[in-house]
Amino acid sequence: REQPKAAAAKKSDAFHKQQALNLVKAQIKLLVGYDNLPEDFARLVRLQANDLFDKNYDVGHDLFSKSEREKSVAKKDAQQATLLKLIKAAMLAAAVPELKQDVRPFLDGLYKHLTILELGRSLGQEKHAKRPFEPLSGEGPVFVDSRVIADAIADTLSSDSADVRDVAFNALDTMWKSAAMIFGAEDRVERLPFFRELTKSLIHHCFEEEWFSKSGGTAGIDYIVNKLNFSAAWLKDRQLELIRALFFVMKDMPQDLPANVRVQAKDVLQDIIRKCNQGTPTTDIGTANTLLHNVSNKLVGEVSHMNRHVREAAQDGLRLLAEVVGVKLYEIVKPV
């Protein structure tokens, strides 16, 4: 049976928390590793960023063609799972008053480090994908995936503590600004595949069974759509996936829980429809397999759902879609 803490035990709490944090930080450093950087490292990073943005994949060695069969994939998977837990623990510590001054600079450095790793990894994979088929090519190096930070952010957004969620939002901001600094402009950040993977992780959380995972996925999608400066074209490519995920949140949220997650999902749904369909030609309405036709088809299909909140969200979405495109509501519905 749990006993109340004695005064002496309470005084030692801060010490034990600090020691636990020191262990977490040391383990993260071991798993992330370190390299001796060349003097012209900043120039090399900018050159790689320019190559990725310009889709110039013909220069440099194909790093993903080598084989490392002597290395253990099971060990790599175990280390990756451990790194995910450690990063989540560090992000949780950033919301603890007596630890945040120590851990937040460490986390900011980690986010920037992983952003640079993501740049090199993305360019290497694109080079490998564009090379002609080589029968002697290997399966690629065995390494701990830097994209584990995407799952850590999505899981942290699922917390019931606003302070912990703010740590995850800060991670998104820091990685966005780091990518903008690497590429030299915010409008180039979209070329970094990490944010595509992050969006996939948030969508996956919307389909999880637990309601708090749905809450984290919805909050993350809201932040990406409304806070980060992604272009309408980038969001448009993911519009249908995002709409499906948000509708599932509204369908599957337990009725005995507060409505704030469902309301947020509905609001983000409308923001997506408004941002992604501005300037869409009206000729796309009756044309099969266009994005506008597929979106209107999805909304019309949800109008007959047994959940009242889903029906209302679909009806409001159709009205907004007609308003944004600049046609009457029946013109949106009729081709479907």
123 in a structural domain: yes
pLDDT tens profile 170-198: 999 999 999 999 998 888 999 999 999 99
Closest to 95 in 3D by CA, of 28, 149, 171, 199: 171
What does the pLDDT read at residue 48? 86
Tokens read off for 275: 């941002």
Say yes or no to pLDDT of 22 above 90: yes
52 in a structural domain: yes
Predicted confidence band at 1 (pLDDT cuts at 50, 70, 90)? very low
Predicted confidence band at 333 (pLDDT cuts at 50, 70, 90)? confident
What does the pLDDT read at residue 309? 92
250 in a structural domain: no
From residue 296, how far is each of 206, 216, 309, 335 by CA, in Å? 21, 27, 18, 9
pLDDT top residue among 57 and 271: 271
Predicted confidence band at 336 (pLDDT cuts at 50, 70, 90)? low
User: Helix, strand, coil proportions of the chain in percent (round to 5)?
Assistant: 70, 0, 30
Cβ distance 205 to 158 under 8 Å? yes
Q: Is 211 exposed, middle or buried (0-12, 13-18, 19+ CB in 10 A)?
A: middle
Count: domains in the chain = 1
Say yes or no to pLDDT of 320 above 90: yes
274 in a structural domain: no
- The whole-number average pLDDT for the span 111-130 is 85
Closest to 329 in 3D by CA, of 299, 291, 306: 299
Average pLDDT over all residues of the chain = 87
Give the structural domain span for 84. 16-34+42-192
- Assign 3-class secondary structure to 232-295: HHHHHCCHHHHHHHHHHHHHHCCCCCCCHHHHHHHHHHHHHHHHHCCCCCHHHCCCCCCHHHHH
128 in a structural domain: yes
Euclidean distance between CA atoms 205 and 335, whole angstroms: 33
| Total-model pTM | 0.89
Q: How many Cβ atoms are within 10 Å of 255's Cβ, its own excluded?
A: 8
Please, which residues have CB within 8 angstroms of residue 37's CB and are 6 or more apart in sequence?
A: none
Say yes or no to pLDDT of 265 above 90: yes
205 in a structural domain: no
pLDDT tens profile 34-66: 888 888 888 888 988 888 888 887 766 677 677
221 in a structural domain: no
